[in-house]
Amino acid sequence: MIDLNDRLRQARIDAGFEDASTAVKEFGWTYSTYMGHENGSRGVKSPDVAKYAKAFGVSESYLLKGRSDTTTQKRDIPENHTGHSETHVAPFIAPSDRTRTSILKLAETLSPQSKKVEVYQLRTHYPSLMLLSGDILIIDAHVTVATPGQIAVTLISNAKSGSERTALRLAASPHPITPIGEPALASDESERMVGVVVASMRPNF
């Protein structure tokens, strides 16, 4: 039997959010609350049903009863929005608030000189850098120019499709950023640096 949480998950995927963490970040929701709704461990109240229906472009009746009018709502996203497709690197979503607090404290300890610390997680292996999928990266997002030898996280935007993806880069001379495991940028693509990697760790949870 397909329940509300199953339809919620499918609506998210159909809306272009392959990962729940991406949708949570996009709409500013609380990760633990949303995941409780999507995995069925928490009941979903009417205001939340309406919120999810609007965000994912489906009707409330579809989420509640499975009716087929799945496109009656317009997604609550600005027209000039470009959706993320975090192929290689994604913002870190902790499995619990306690873990998140511990990781942030550790990040600040590992990077005391960083002015703006952010935490990301790899979604693919980078054997040449001895980094594996799942590794947590501590990013100094205040740094906007990488020096040769530094590893950077960049956001690659495609003006034609309106899509975005994050990638790992290695700064080198004479080119500011050399792609790692990716082709050269297409003519309709541009990129900006999110920050430089100042530390990495392999989670044990």
pLDDT in tens, the chain (205 residues): 457 888 898 888 888 888 888 889 888 898 888 988 988 888 888 889 999 988 888 888 888 887 644 344 444 433 333 344 446 787 777 777 777 778 878 888 877 777 788 888 888 888 878 888 889 898 888 887 888 888 888 888 877 777 777 888 888 765 555 556 666 777 888 888 888 898 888 877 5
The domain boundary, picked from 79, 109, 125, lies at 79
* Domain, as residue range, for 52: 4-79
Phi, psi (5° rounding) for residue 178?
Answer: -105, 130
CATH label of the domain that carries residue 11: 1.10.260
Helix crossing, 4-14 with 20-27: angle to 10°? 80
Residues 57 and 118 in one domain: no
Q: Is 110 helix (H, G, I), strand (E, B) or coil?
A: helix
Distance, CA of 38 to CA of 26 (rounded, Å): 16
Same-domain check for residues 138 and 156: yes
Q: Are residues 170 and 75 in the same domain?
A: no
| Tokens describing residue 197 | 């990697």
Q: Look at residue 51 and tell me if it is in a domain.
A: yes
Report the number of distinct structural domains present in the chain.
2
Among candidate residues 54, 79, 104, the one where a domain is terminated: 79
Helices 20-27, 46-56: crossing angle, 10 deg rounding: 100
CATH number at residue 194: 2.10.109.10
pLDDT score recorded for residue 99: 79
Whether 94 is covered by a domain: the verdict is yes
With a CB cutoff of 8 Å and minimum separation 6, the contacts of 65 are: none
pTM: 0.53
Query: Quick check: is 84 in a domain?
Result: no
Residue ending a domain, among 19, 51, 79, is: 79
Same domain for 123 and 64: no
Verify that 17 and 72 share a domain, yes or no: yes
